[in-house]
Structure 1
Amino acid sequence: MSSSATLSSIEICAGAGGLALGLESAGFSPAALVEVDDKALATLFANRPEWNLVEEDLNAFDPDHHPESYDVDLLSAGTPRVKSMATINRKDDHPERKLVKAALYLVGAVRPRAVLLENVPGLVSKDDFSEVRTEIEEELNHLGFRLFKNVLNAKDFGVPQNRSHGFFVALQEPYAQSFTWPSPSAETPTYVGDVLYPSMASRGWPHAQEWAQEARIVAPTLVGGSDKRGGPDLGPERAKAIWERIGINGGTLADEPPGPQDGWALGSDRKDLPALTVAQTALLQGFPPSWQIAGRKTRGYRQVGQAVPPPLAAAVGRQIAAALKARAADSPQPWPAG
């Protein structure tokens, strides 16, 4: 356990920083963040230049070359989305599973007191993911951790989006004795219109207030993070239909919010409706307005679509921090030999 009040962490596959930002608010200070994408690294540097960024592929990352990685309180990872067994024979599926293996290897090398792995909800509970899930469980148990699994929805933690994430949390004894999952917020759900109204009104759009009233909904999941996918949009047709019902063109992204000359009417053709900007989608993901996303629309939105909503990450991070601090006076159990 760190001697100071701040807990230490290392994060791999850091992306645009959603997980790291949430963990920061929960009391974790990253000793290093590992990422290979240049635009994601530019995003991290623009917002937290003091963070130690390591530009390296996870498969090649050697903690011996980064001694600050050792003896941290937490290793966190939001590895690329693992696909189900139904698509395991697809050639492009193998890198995602290899990154999960690399993350597990790094747990054994770094020896943190706690581990946080985030991925698709199905990895936690669906049969199609049982092979990878079993590998995660067996390896973490072998390394001396007690494992906790859960699926949490970001809308239950102040994010205006219906978005589920699968989490594996593992802690060494005796810290595991004090861990519990965060409870959903008892407050009224956060709505799209409330979050985006200041941005929609920022350029003098005369319909901002009317639109915000219509947009008192929780958004569908923002989809668009795949590296194999085409240009940016707000997801499949069913999601675009929801956006269209509140007067948003979900088939594209805009360069700026609507202005004084832009019209708006429910029932208009999709192409005649205003579209959201990358910055606005980041707001829907729970990033603060000050968080800058580097890159043009496609690569910027890809970072947003792949991110863990910071408020959700913060909720899980606070529970991990509480468990670590509750047992701060106890020494961790020795690691298994070999």
Structure 2
Amino acid sequence: MTRTNELKYTSVEICAGAGGQAVGLHNAGFKHAALIEIDKDACQTLRQNIARHSEWDGCQVIEADLNEFPSAQLAIPRGTLDLLAGGVPCPPFSAAGKQLGEDDERNLFPAMFRLVDELHPKAVMIENVRGLLDPKFSDYRARIVQDFERQGYEVCYWDLLEAKDYGVPQLRPRAILVAMQPEYAKYFQHHKPEPRELVTVGQALHDSMRARYDAVDDPRADWAFKRWYEKALEGVAPTVVGGSKKHGGADLGPTRAKRAWAELGVCGLGIANEPEDTKDVERDLFAPVGPKLTVTQAALIQGFPEDWKFSGRKTAAYRQVGNAFPPPVAQAVGEQIYAAFEAAAEAEGL
């Protein structure tokens, strides 16, 4: 996954997490002015990766509660920002929770709209779970559209995008909203990708899994790798989940998800240590079902670049990965927003 456009348009991202959407939008040609996130481990992840990439120079990482964050801190004059993006918290609309929607204290749509009003960006991109598109939230969605219209925006689309259609080896449907000021909205073209051969778990993890088995001196390694690889070529992963801070350690999800992982030769009962930290090969590599995934491998399933590193202890790092927006999907949406800006500039002779 590489950058496709000149770094030409500015962006601010809220609820930035570990940077999945930020990586995708950067690769689409957006230069981040700020990434705002409340979790300290995720903020450290952002800082350490930004420090290693000179193209990210000038990007602030701001650890803050969005409900209390003053946009004046950004020092961005109203109307000059190109894109305001964010994956507002999913639990209020997730089928895995109580789906309290706007009544959930974690609902940050009001905070997002406050920033839209104060910054008045040319475009807004919001990512959330598919549950937000359920019929029970139709009235709330209508009010969101009306709020955009009152602020002078057109909602270009609100659609369900499936990560596996963008080369991500995972089932991960996300509800994506794009709104733009009218002079740009008329040039926005929303299109989903052409049908393509799916990238399987085996293809995505072949090299990293081979390296893990090669790092142990065990006569079972070749056989175990081949057993895993044969199964892992069969399909894409179930949705990688980050879980709640209130519940236990990291694993690969509920019972149904663990069964789906087992069919791909992966043990979902926990997360493995990275190869250099492996102490229990029976647990991490030779479980009866197959190997457990490392945090790095889970990130590859999400579509992160291999050199993107995650801060914090294993559970905190995995939670960041599981809650991320796959970079290739964010990049595809960002490229369409970028193209609309370019078309508008060309039409105006700029």
Is the structural similarity TM-score above 0.5? Answer: yes
**Which of the numbers 257, 277, 285 marks the counterpart of 2:294?**
277
Match in the other structure for 1:106: 115
Select 1:60's aligned residue among 31, 54, 68.
68
Separation in structure 2 between the aligned mates of residue 268 and residue 304 of structure 1, nearest angstrom: 23
SS at match of 1:200: helix
What SS does structure 1 have at the residue aligned with 2:168? coil
1:303 corresponds to: 320
> Separation in 1 of the partners of 2:148 and 2:120?
11
- Deviation, 1:214, is 1.7
Kindly indicate whether the alpha-carbon contact (under 8 Å) linking 2:201 and 2:264 is maintained by their aligned counterparts in 1.
Answer: no
How far is 1:23 from its partner?
Answer: 0.2
Partner of 2:291: helix, strand, or coil? coil
What does residue 228 of structure 2 align with?
211
Question: What does residue 336 of structure 1 align with?
Answer: none
Deviation at 1:83, TM superposition (A): 2.4
2:304 aligns with 287
- Do the aligned partners of 1:73 and 1:114 also contact (CA within 8 Å) in 2? yes
Q: 1:209 to 1:288 in 2, by over 3 A?
A: farther
Equivalent residue, structure 1, for 2:134: 126
Q: Given the alignment, which residue of 145, 148, 151 partners 2:153?
A: 145
- Alpha-carbon shift at residue 257 of structure 1 (Å): 4.7
Q: Does 1:248 align with 2:266?
A: yes
- The answer (yes or no) to whether the contact 1:31–1:69 under 8 Å persists in 2 is no
Q: Which amino acid aligns with 1:106?
A: L
2:49 alignment partner in structure 1? 47
**Aligned residue runs from structure 1 range 91-240, under 5 A:** 94-97=104-107, 99-123=108-132, 125-147=133-155, 148-203=157-212, 204=214, 205-206=221-222, 207-216=224-233, 217-240=235-258
User: By how many angstroms is 1:256 displaced?
Assistant: 2.5
TM superposition shift of 1:5: 5.9
* Cα distance change of structure 1 residues 81 and 5 upon mapping to structure 2, 3 Å threshold: closer
Count, aligned residues = 321
CA contact (8 A) 1:182 1:316 kept: no
Indicate conservation of the 8 Å contact 2:126/2:178, yes or no: yes
Gaps of 5+ in 1: 332-338
Q: TM-score, normalised by structure 1?
A: 0.88
Match of 2:92, SS state, is coil
Residue in 1 aligned with 2:218?
none
- One-letter identity of the residue aligned with 1:48: I
1:130 to partner: Cα distance? 2.5
